[in-house]
Structure 1
């Protein structure tokens, strides 16, 4: 059965991108699954623990998709791994704001701030959204930097960001779409991380198999410098009678004369060379091609 015919297959729905041919795009879904665990742990150990909230990250997917929903604003987090844009739907930010300022409790009603959810976003909402984005974008950047999906994030240095408001991303940008639930949200909310070209290049290089990483690292070196060959210098050979060989004793001297040496690659004789002495070592010089 052709696996691409299965309904709901995320790989089947991905549009072919000519610029990604030959790159490990097929491993992006595995990256998204691993990132979902990282972000879920970030919620549990961060927002949920600090504010006694109950946010649950349900899913993460990555694709070139558009964004929709009532957003607070887009914010850019720029660091060594590249530039990450973040936005979240307003009900998610309002619920977090309610937890943060004690406007709602574990068994309480919806935050009073949500009553004004159709109005203009306040400066406080924007600050809460920016703080949430910074905390979670650091997780995304660290997972990209880790490369190996099995590598724990505590083994990766915490990235530093410069933060600034940003316009909405261009259509077709690589986007991590996340679904978040909370008992007080009613419906699941979404948030998005948009990765720039530098982030995607770093991510795809990290997802490449070790052999491809090695090939990519040496791609800038000329082929003639990357090709490794073993040269063998055969200084001399001499025929000797079997009887003379049996008559040899310790201390006997076999007179020889070292002329030109044969230079071989494997068993193929490619050059002849003169034998010279330099600082107490024999060296080969004056190479001549063999016809």
Structure 2
């Protein structure tokens, strides 16, 4: 006797997405990509004569299980710089290929022509110079990401919400902390067009949910629109909208006269009363008057 097939286990709902406009986050990520590309990659390109391009930015709840799986396969993937900021966790991880490429350009080396493979790089010990550059890049990445999120939430970068990088404690090296249940991950995919072959490298920033709460509230308020109570208290004349059109002129002309028209031709007309149409139906007649150089309708009369 064969046992019945087991039904697939239903996926658990992510409580970080419930009641939040997460479907609008891809649109936010596009605007954040434009800001970070201008503030992060373009200065690198000008300074080092490089061709870095911020290909993609994603903003989503942190998948901690996926990050733990990456750390098992690659020890560098489990190496994060993190700190507990004023509003919670701030963490950053940058691919070593990106750090070493920038370091080579800073030292005047021909970056991109003889870059080591990722597997060879993982076996190379981290130097003090690389560690200092990693700290600087991680701090810069956190600063620009937090400022970009604050601007998208219509808050100034100098607002007193604890998001300025200068207020962050020193970033400590270690694994990704697990004491934040409402954590979000912003992933920046950077491409180095000078590398042989071209490579996509990532810069990940993990933030506590408190840093994204202003942005999510702003998106929710824009998505909801005016409250139902505010609409209900308005009278019917205010809630009901109609399309109003005015037919100012009807002119009959012979076909030959129409064919003779050329640029600069004048057609003499006489403005009489205008026919007013509501939703395509002629309902009223109105006189046409001039007021401060504009044509206006006045003296409305119902059509019989």
What TM-score, normalized to structure 1? Answer: 0.56
Per the TM alignment, residue 122 of structure 1 is displaced from its structure 2 partner at its CA by 1.7
Per the TM alignment, residue 43 of structure 1 is displaced from its structure 2 partner at its CA by 2.5
1:125 alignment partner, one of 130, 134, 156: 130
Structure 2 match to 1:59: 56
For the pair 1:196 / 2:208, whether they are aligned, the reply is yes
5+ long unaligned stretches in structure 2: 1-10, 228-304
Q: Any idea what the Cα deviations from partners look like across 1:12-40, whole Å, max 9, x if unmatched?
A: xx984234322222222222221111111
Per the TM alignment, residue 203 of structure 1 is displaced from its structure 2 partner at its CA by 3.3
Return closer, same or farther for 1:111/1:180 CA change in 2, 3 Å cut-off: same
Structure 2 match to 1:251: none
Asked whether the 8 Å contact 2:82–2:176 carries over to 1, the reply is: no
2:147 alignment partner, one of 125, 142, 153: 142
Asked whether the 8 Å contact 1:54–1:183 carries over to 2, the reply is: yes
Equivalent residue pairs, number: 197
- Distance in 2 between the 1:86 and 1:176 partners? 10
Asked whether the 8 Å contact 2:21–2:219 carries over to 1, the reply is: yes
Per the TM alignment, residue 124 of structure 1 is displaced from its structure 2 partner at its CA by 1.5
- Distance in 1 between the 2:134 and 2:217 partners? 30
1:83 counterpart SS class? strand
For the pair 1:100 / 2:106, whether they are aligned, the reply is yes
- Distance in 2 between the 1:119 and 1:84 partners? 27
Return closer, same or farther for 1:78/1:143 CA change in 2, 3 Å cut-off: farther
Structure 1 match to 2:17: 20
**What is the Cα-based RMSD across aligned positions, in Å?**
3.6
Structure 2 match to 1:90: 96
Return closer, same or farther for 1:41/1:29 CA change in 2, 3 Å cut-off: same
Return closer, same or farther for 1:182/1:208 CA change in 2, 3 Å cut-off: same
Asked whether the 8 Å contact 2:94–2:204 carries over to 1, the reply is: yes
- Distance in 2 between the 1:168 and 1:84 partners? 10
5+ long unaligned stretches in structure 1: 1-13, 216-291
What TM-score, normalized to structure 2? Answer: 0.54
Return closer, same or farther for 1:139/1:97 CA change in 2, 3 Å cut-off: same
1:162 alignment partner, one of 169, 178, 203: 169
Q: Which aligned pairs between 1:208-287 and structure 2 lie closer than 5 A? A: 208-210=220-222
2:184 alignment partner, one of 174, 189, 196: 174
Asked whether the 8 Å contact 2:187–2:204 carries over to 1, the reply is: yes
- Distance in 2 between the 1:211 and 1:195 partners? 24
Return closer, same or farther for 1:45/1:55 CA change in 2, 3 Å cut-off: closer
